[in-house]
Amino acid sequence: MKTTDAISVPWDPPIGMASYLGKSELCDMEARSLRIVVRSLVKDVTLPLDALRIVYNFVRDNIVYSIPSKIDYKASDVLGVGGSDSVGKTILLATMLKLVSIPIRFHVGMANSDYLNGLQIGPLQYFIPRLLLHLWVEAWNGDRFVTLEGVTVDRHYIRKVASVINTDEPSYGLGLADPRPIGVMANQLDWDGKTDTYCQRASVVSDLGDHSQIEIVVKANEGKGLGNLIYRKITTPSITRQIARLRSLI
């Protein structure tokens, strides 16, 4: 039996996983813009694993890595803006996968913000919180829940960074946090649908587990006070501009 909000696909959702398929405030599966895009992506797809790969690649590479001014964007908002961080891109990926009857769960962690080193210099860097909410999707691929943390940073940005940084050291900074050197990361971007993916895992300092819905977690991490206001309204646009500059390097 297909879920009420899912679009029509040639497969049924796995039995017993209804709690991983429902819409919510941020996973606005009824949004017309989302449904149009998802239908176009999977119109000729006959297997859920292929749909999983197609949707993952779309969100990773067409929704560019950037730092939004708030963390409670709905999936349709992230799609409309065309960019976000781990929170927004994870919410969008989760919603699009639910629309094609692929169960997902959210995994929550707190990340050391040092992974943003190099993207902000000057006094504004002191308004970056020490810990930032970090989300990723775990999606059912037919055999197990695969970790899709690698959706956060787009292929083009990783390859641009790799073209200007030549090092065998782990990738830490400029929005990345991974034990692999940047050149290795850039050469491992073609996903088979079966393995776990990562790009900021080395920044995670606390693991807060799996959740079927994410609204309460997001609301609890919105941040308060003048420092957070400066970070969200002034520092994050500055970081996003620096990411865009790096992406445009020839």
CA distance to 55, 159, 173, per residue, from 169 (Å):
31, 16, 11
Domain for residue 143, yes or no? yes
Domain for residue 113, yes or no? yes
pLDDT of residue 124: 84
CA pseudo-torsion sign 106, 132, 173, 60: positive
Domain for residue 13, yes or no? no
Whole-number Å distance between alpha carbons of 91 and 94: 5
Domain for residue 22, yes or no? yes
Domain for residue 204, yes or no? yes
Radius of gyration of the chain (CA): 18
Tens digits of per-residue pLDDT, 79-93?
999 999 999 999 999
Tens digits of per-residue pLDDT, 196-244?
999 999 999 999 999 999 999 999 998 889 989 999 999 999 999 999 9
Percent of the chain with pLDDT over 70: 98
pLDDT averaged over the chain?
Answer: 94
Is residue 4 pLDDT above 70, yes or no? no
Whole-number Å distance between alpha carbons of 237 and 93: 23
Helix count (H) and strand count (E) of the chain? 9, 8
Tens digits of per-residue pLDDT, 97-116?
999 999 999 999 999 999 99
Tens digits of per-residue pLDDT, 5-45?
899 999 999 999 999 999 999 999 999 999 999 999 999 99
Are the C-beta atoms of residues 117 and 70 closer than 8 Å to each other?
Answer: no
Is residue 96 pLDDT above 80, yes or no? yes
Is residue 147 pLDDT above 90, yes or no? yes
Domain for residue 2, yes or no? no
Would you place residue 120 in the very low, low, confident or very high pLDDT band (cuts 50, 70, 90)?
A: confident
Q: To which residue do tokens 């690649």 refer?
A: 57
pLDDT of residue 1: 38
Q: How many CB atoms lie within 10 A of CB 12?
A: 12
Is residue 2 pLDDT above 50, yes or no? no
Domain for residue 243, yes or no? yes
Number of domains present in the structure of the chain: 1
Parent domain of 146:
18-247
- HEC string for 12-38: CCCCCCHHHCCCCCCCCCCCHHHHHHH
CATH code, domain carrying 201 = 3.10.620
Domain for residue 9, yes or no? no
